[in-house]
Amino acid sequence: MDIIDHNRVEKIFGNYIRYEGNVTKFTWIIFLGLILEDLFSRVYIAKQSLQPSLIAVQLLLYVLLVGVSLMKLRSIKNESQKLKTYYKVAKIVEVVMTVTLISTVYHSVFFYFVALLPLAFISLSRGFKRAVPYILLSWFVQALSQYFVSLWLNTIPLPSMFSDFFFFSLTITIQYLLFSLFCYVWGTVHSEYSRSEEENNILIERLGDKYVQLEQAKKEIQNHYDKMRETNNQLEETNRRLTSSLAEFYTLQQISQAISSIFDMNELLKFVNDVIIGVMGVYHSTIALCHGPQNKLKVQVSSIFDKKELAIVSDYINSEVLKPSTHDGHSMIDNAVNPEDYPFTQGRNIQSMICVPLLAKGNTLGIVLIEHSMKDAFDNDNVRLLEIISQQVSIAIENARLYQQMHDLATLDGLTGAYNRLYFQDNLQIEYKKAQEKGYDLSLMIFDIDHFKKFNDTNGHLFGDLVLKSISNYIMKTLRKEDILARYGGEEFVILMPHTTLEQAQEKAEDLREGISRLTITDRVISASVTISIGVSVFPDAASTPQQLIKSSDDALYEAKHAGRNRVCVAPPKMKNENVG
């Protein structure tokens, strides 16, 4: 509280000093007017002659007054540490100069208030008690100076307004008492103002304390809010990661189920491609696999339906820009695709892409290419998820290839590439039941190479193997997808042809016989040609059971051989067989 009071007093005193300069300058003007008024009154009203000595004294007092005032103002500006001391001394000297100058004028009794106005300002700004010493000093100096001035003027001689000194002193005293009462009133105003300001300062202090408390509370609330916000952000990030993990887990679960249940490569890749489109939310997805000794990429499945666009992708899928994935096994991401850099994107408005290799045992099996029509569509999380999917797909591809190899070992003849006898027997039963249930023809050809044993002994077994492979390759190129070529034993082959009548099978057999007879088989040392004999039968016209179908075809082959070889013989209808029997 002491600090507040001291600051309040210093503030009031500072405000008074700030206005003191204006009051002082205004006083200079008033006293200059008083000197001129005194000169006018003595010459024109009192009809006195000009007295240079009086005028000189008045001007001297005026100059001294101005000088003291300037020193006071300068001391206020330059001596801030000794402000009160300089002010008191200068104020005392100023009061003495002021009342003395007023005492020299003809109508001095009417102008005492001029000396008392600054003292009233002190009462108003600093309190009545601070103004009392100056009032007493002014009264004493006024009475004393008036007495000496009157004595001095009488010696000139120069009469003054009042010749009775007692009456003049009484008048001064009464005026000072009245003015003291006036200053007391102003001092009361000052006291009320000081009390009000003190209460305001106390209130401000309390408000300041409340403000500090509110600021502290605000900081605590802000810190609490920041912590809650940070916690909420962490929860949102955790929730996002959990959602992403669940989506990844679900995706991998779906792919794992597909791997364990889908063994057909194309069907598996189509399923995976659909999963990638759904999970990644992409514009297009394409899976390309490596083929041939140079591991050239070939589009296996794609979501691109436009044939021209798909042809462009197929033509440029082996471009240099994808070598980091195809050759080095690195993933690629580009969120600002330039069609000039990626020729396979031409004409499709692709803005973002990711290319991830399909790797198995350090070898590149192919790539997964996803594309989007928006810029900045992908991030590193998308790359990571696609890499995880690609790992699963690579395992699936490897498993499918191993399954295919095992299937080939179990169903294919190792020398010719045709199906083996066991596979043929199983499929004969299956196709027979289908033909029987649906009522369509099922034809069977049995053929062997004419004089193959002699041919084999003459040219060697290796060349004989070449003959068997060459004939098998030629026939497989001419058959339909549903036809089955199998090596029945030695140089003997069978061809099972669903949905084929006896006439159609006979026509096909003639084409095969003629085509093989025109083949030239060579190993760059030996060149030779061979012929075949073919027996043809059909269900249900020539056979009623699978066994009868094989026997009737074999009988027709036997007939072709006895008829001179290099020919086709057809099994007779069942009615004729029964009549002959």
* Buried-exposed string 8-18: b where 16+ CB fall within 10 A, e elsewhere: eeeebbeebbe
The distance of Cα 262 from the centroid of its chain, to the nearest Å, equals 40
Question: In this structure, which amino acid lies at residue 571?
Answer: A
CA distances from 511 to 82, 487, 517 (A): 134, 19, 10
Q: Which residues pair with 333 in a beta bridge?
A: 354
- DSSP class of 328: S
Asked whether the bond before 573 is cis by omega within 30 degrees of 0, the reply is: no
Cα separation of 258 and 115, whole Å? 113
The residue annotated as part of the active site, out of 199, 491, 559, 578, is 491
Cα separation of 562 and 22, whole Å? 151
Comparing CA positions, the residue from 171, 181, 118, 180 lying closest to residue 142 is 171
Q: Which stretches within 104-164 are classed as H helix?
A: 112-126, 128-154
Cα separation of 533 and 570, whole Å? 11
CA distances from 346 to 18, 58, 202, 311, 355 (A): 84, 108, 80, 11, 17
3-state secondary structure of 440: coil
Q: Which stretches within 262-332 are classed as H helix?
A: 265-280, 307-316, 323-326
Q: Which residues pair with 497 in a beta bridge?
A: 443
Strands (E), 81-226: none
Cα separation of 428 and 485, whole Å? 11
Cα separation of 502 and 497, whole Å? 10
Active site residue 491: yes
- Roughly what angle, to the nearest 10 degrees, separates helices 546-562 and 421-438? 110
Asked whether the bond before 157 is cis by omega within 30 degrees of 0, the reply is: yes
Cα separation of 288 and 273, whole Å? 11
Contacting residues for 137 by C-beta, under 8 A, at least 6 apart: 92, 95, 96
Cα separation of 434 and 442, whole Å? 9
Cα separation of 343 and 325, whole Å? 16
Task: Order across the sheet with 442-449: list the strands.
Answer: 484-489, 492-498, 442-449, 532-539, 568-570
Q: Give the tokens for residue 382.
A: 């998308």
The maximal CA–CA distance of the chain, rounded, in angstroms, is 193
Instruction: State the catalytic residues.
Output: 491
